[in-house]
Every structure is written in C-alpha cells, then in structure tokens.
C-alpha cells in the first residue's frame, strides 16, 4: 500500500490520480491532499477517499509541516504553474520521494531542485508523459546521445499564422488528444508546453539543449524516445492517458496492473514530422533560452503564465501570446540564479515586465 499526499487534488492530474486510486484501493491510499480555489470540492473528495489531512493553499501554511502529517511514502505534486515550486522544494526538504507533474518546478528551479535531490538522494519521478517515457527508456542504460521529445502538435497543428488570428479560448482549449487543465491546454496550442518540457528534460536527465529534438507526432501514442550511442532508439508507447505515467511514478520501481488501457495495434498509423517554427514562434525563443539558460527559462515561464492568464480572461488575442513572449525574452539580460530567493525575484520581475505590455 502506497501512502500518497496529493497536491492539487481538484485539478486534471489530481482527478486522474483519484480515478486510479478509486480503481486500486488495495494499492494506493491518499493520506493528505491540497486544493486552492476549489477547496470546498476537496472536502467532498476527502469524505469519499477518507483523506485525513487537508490543506487549503489560500490560507498561510507550512508545506513541509503539512507533508509530514500523514507519514506518506510519496508526494504527487499536481499543482499548476510556478506556485508548484515551493511544494517540490518542501517535499525534498522533508526527505520524501516526489512524483512530479508540476513541470514549472523544474523549469524555474531545476538547477537547485535537482542539486538538493541529489544531495539528499531523493527520487524525482516524472509524471509528465514525455518525461515518464524518457525515464522508462533510460532504465538500465548508461549514456544516451539524444532525446526525441514527441509533440502532438496541439489543436492548431498544420495551421499557418494567418489562420490563428481569431482563435477563441474554447478553440484553444479543445486539444485533440488530451483532456487537461486550462493553462497547459493553451500551452499545448502555442507549443510553449513543449518549450517548458525541453527545460524540464534538460534538468531531469542532465541533457544539453542540442541533445533534445522535438518531433511532431499527432497520434500521441509514442510518448518520447531516447537514442543511444550505437544508434539504437528506444520508445515508450501507450494510449494518450495520464493514468499510466501517474501509475508508473507512484509504483516505481514496480510495475503491476492498475487497469490502464492497452494499445490496440489492429488499425494504427503513426506519423512523425518536424515542427513549424515560423507559425509556432515559441520554438525560436526556446533556442535563445536553451543557449542562455540561467534566468531565461524562469522569465519564459513567468511571461507565459501572464500571457496565458490574459488570453484566458479574454483580454488579448491568441497571437499576442507569441508577441508578448518575444518582447519579454528580447528585453531579458542574462543573470545568475544562485538561490531560491533569486528565482522568486526573477519570476516577479519577469511578471512585471510582461504586465507592461498591457499598459
Ligand atoms: P489544473 O489547472 O487542472 O489543476 C491545478 C491544480 O493546482 C488544482 O488542484 C488547483 O486547485 C491547484 N492550484 C492552482 N493554483 C494554485 C496555487 N497558487 N497554489 C496551490 N495550488 C494551486 O492543472 P493540471 O492538472 O492540468 O496540471 C497540473 C500540473 O501538471 C501542471 O504543472 C501541468 O503542466 C502538469 N501536467 C499536466 C498534464 C495534464 O494532462 N493535465 C500533463 C502533464 C503535465 P483549485 O482547482 O482548487 O484551484
Ligand atoms: Mg507532456
């Protein structure tokens, strides 16, 4: 029986995790959970799952103290956005293994988070489907040459810039393969999500930017691949459901049946192609950021969070997300990131820079 603290229980990953637990009550038990704006819903969840410790993250709290309460075996961080970083840090500081969905933790705090985890010998188990795939491909391996990060292309795959002028929020949220939270759905539409995933992979797997190739794979069956020095390539396949990477992270290093769907090969066509960098200009900014690193991923993430929130609120058109990111990255000077305080400071200043765009 794995005892889990589920942070962000009311979100998309949180709900998928609860479904997995509902189906496998003999394997998983939620001992603690958090919610933010939907805290009243968490109380209902808690009565169904018998969760003892609840955290309302709108109130002041100590994440480290909370995490220790139910004596969990593992913490699943499914909080969205930069707000997730403090929970990832607290998990490692509390000497607990971290199943990590919150990619922004690694994007903004990857250097320090990974260093702390290595020093304390704490496992960070990726939940993001691509990183789970890479992690699975790397088991039992030594050096790798290249990571091939697959990308479904999002809802606007194949469209050109002119066709993206009048995109509505609903259109941006309608992902063809995945059902996800609003922020990551918009990020999948701009491919900013793939940029965040490149930073995430660089930290998790100690890869250089040039070792990561983004490949468009609309069916989202191959969740990523790893190429080794002898030119062999390993891939991980499954239907597009987050249940499998969640199950994999929570059970690692074991693999037991948890009722995840199995891939049917009877009528399956898989295709791969290169991304359109002219339409999805986030990928050009990614190159600048991976060359510079340091504060650039933090700035990219902060400006993107501001832009997506404004788009979701109906305040800016879809294409302005690209413009805003270009402007903020264009104005960014390289700065060393040598402390947690510095990460929060860079994030706050980048948000201000992005907000200037609206004044
Ligand atoms: P959702 O927006 O659906 O859920 C976010 C969760 O975080 C909710 O429980 C929300 O609580 C909570 N939350 C929001 N703001 C705060 C805050 N300031 N402090 C603490 N908790 C907060 O997001 P997703 O489930 O889609 O994504 C979660 C993370 O997983 C993201 O980092 C995303 O990139 C990553 N991810 C998601 C995938 C997916 O399929 N959805 C796939 C791969 C990665 P409340 O609802 O109560 O406000
Ligand atoms: Mg992903």
* 184-226 tens-digit pLDDT: 999 999 999 999 999 999 999 999 999 999 999 999 999 999 9
> What spacing in Å lies between the alpha carbon of 193 and ligand 2's midpoint?
7
Q: What CA–CA distance (Å, rounded) separates 137 from 277?
A: 28
Is the pTM higher than 0.85?
A: yes
Our CA angle for 48, 243, 177, nearest 5°, is 120
Q: What CA–CA distance (Å, rounded) separates 317 from 264?
A: 39
pLDDT digits (tens, 9 = 90+) for 9-58: 999 999 999 999 999 999 999 999 999 999 999 999 999 999 999 999 99
Q: Which helix (H) or strand (E) holds 98?
A: strand 98-100
All structural domains of the chain, each given as residue ranges with its CATH number in brackets, are: 2-127 (3.40.50.720)
Q: Which helix (H) or strand (E) holds 226?
A: strand 222-227
> What spacing in Å lies between the alpha carbon of 26 and ligand 2's midpoint?
28
> What spacing in Å lies between the alpha carbon of 47 and ligand 2's midpoint?
31
Task: Name the residue of 5, 7, 10, 11 whose CB sits within 8 Å of the most ligand 1 atoms, as the mutation to test its pocket.
Answer: 11
> What spacing in Å lies between the alpha carbon of 128 and ligand 2's midpoint?
5
> What spacing in Å lies between the alpha carbon of 286 and ligand 1's midpoint?
23
Q: Which ligand 1 atom minimizes the distance to the CA of 104?
A: 32
Contact by Cβ (8 Å): 24, 258: yes
Our CA angle for 248, 83, 297, nearest 5°, is 85
* pLDDT given for residue 179 in this prediction: 87
Contact by Cβ (8 Å): 197, 256: no
Q: Which ligand 1 atom minimizes the distance to the CA of 58?
A: 19
Residue 294: pLDDT over 90: yes
Q: What CA–CA distance (Å, rounded) separates 175 from 181?
A: 11
The residue whose CA has the least distance to atom 16 of ligand 1 is: 36
Q: Which helix (H) or strand (E) holds 74?
A: strand 74-77
- Which one, of 339, 340, 329, 252, lies nearest residue 292 by Cα? 329
> What spacing in Å lies between the alpha carbon of 77 and ligand 1's midpoint?
9
By CB atoms closer than 10 A (0-12, 13-18, 19+), residue 36 is: middle
pLDDT digits (tens, 9 = 90+) for 105-123: 999 999 999 999 999 999 9
Q: Using a 6 Å CB cutoff, which residues line ligand 1?
A: 8-14, 35-39, 57, 78-80, 83-84, 101-104, 128, 178, 180-181, 183-184, 242
Look at residue 237 and give its three-state secondary structure: strand
Q: Which ligand 1 atom minimizes the distance to the CA of 183?
A: 2
Task: Name the residue of 13, 42, 51 whose CB sits within 8 Å of the most ligand 1 atoms, as the mutation to test its pocket.
Answer: 13
The residue whose CA has the least distance to atom 36 of ligand 1 is: 101
* pLDDT given for residue 359 in this prediction: 76
Residue 272: pLDDT over 90: yes
Supply the mean pLDDT for the chain.
97
């Amino acid at each position: 029986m794995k005892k889990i603290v589920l942070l962000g229980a009311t979100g998309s990953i949180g709900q998928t995790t609860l479904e997995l637990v509902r189906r496998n009550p003999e394997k998983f038990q939620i001992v603690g959970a958090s919610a933010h704006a939907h805290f009243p819903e968490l109380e209902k969840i808690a009565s169904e799952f018998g969760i003892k410790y609840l955290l309302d993250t709108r109130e002041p709290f100590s994440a480290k103290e909370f995490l220790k309460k139910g004596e969990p075996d593992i913490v699943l961080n499914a909080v969205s956005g930069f707000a997730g970083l403090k929970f990832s840090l607290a998990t490692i500081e509390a000497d607990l293994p971290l199943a990590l969905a919150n990619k922004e933790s690694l994007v903004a705090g990857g250097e320090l988070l990974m260093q702390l985890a290595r020093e304390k010998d704490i496992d960070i188990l990726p939940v993001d489907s691509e990183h789970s795939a890479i992690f699975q491909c790397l088991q039992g391996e030594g050096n790798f040459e290249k990571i091939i990060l697959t990308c479904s292309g999002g809802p606007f795959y194949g469209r050109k810039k002119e066709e993206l002028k009048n995109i509505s929020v609903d259109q941006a949220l309608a992902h063809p393969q995945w059902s996800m939270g609003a922020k990551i759905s918009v990020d999948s539409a701009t491919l900013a999500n793939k940029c965040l995933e490149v930073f995430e992979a660089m930290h998790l797997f100690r890869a250089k930017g040039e070792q990561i190739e983004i490949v468009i794979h609309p069916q989202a069956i191959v969740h990523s691949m790893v190429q080794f020095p002898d030119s062999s390539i390993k891939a991980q396949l499954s239907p597009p459901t987050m249940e499998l990477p969640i199950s994999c992270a929570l059970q690692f290093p074991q693999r037991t049946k948890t009722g995840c769907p199995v891939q049917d090969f009877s009528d399956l066509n898989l295709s791969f192609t290169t991304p359109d960098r002219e339409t999805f200009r986030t990928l050009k900014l990614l190159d600048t950021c991976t060359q510079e690193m340091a504060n650039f991923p933090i700035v990219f993430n902060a400006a993107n969070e501001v832009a997506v929130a404004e788009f979701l609120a109906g305040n800016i058109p879809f294409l302005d997300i690209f413009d805003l990111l270009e402007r903020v990255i264009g104005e960014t000077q390289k700065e060393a990131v040598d402390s947690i305080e510095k990460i929060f400071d860079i994030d706050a200043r980048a948000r201000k820079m992005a907000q200037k765009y609206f004044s």
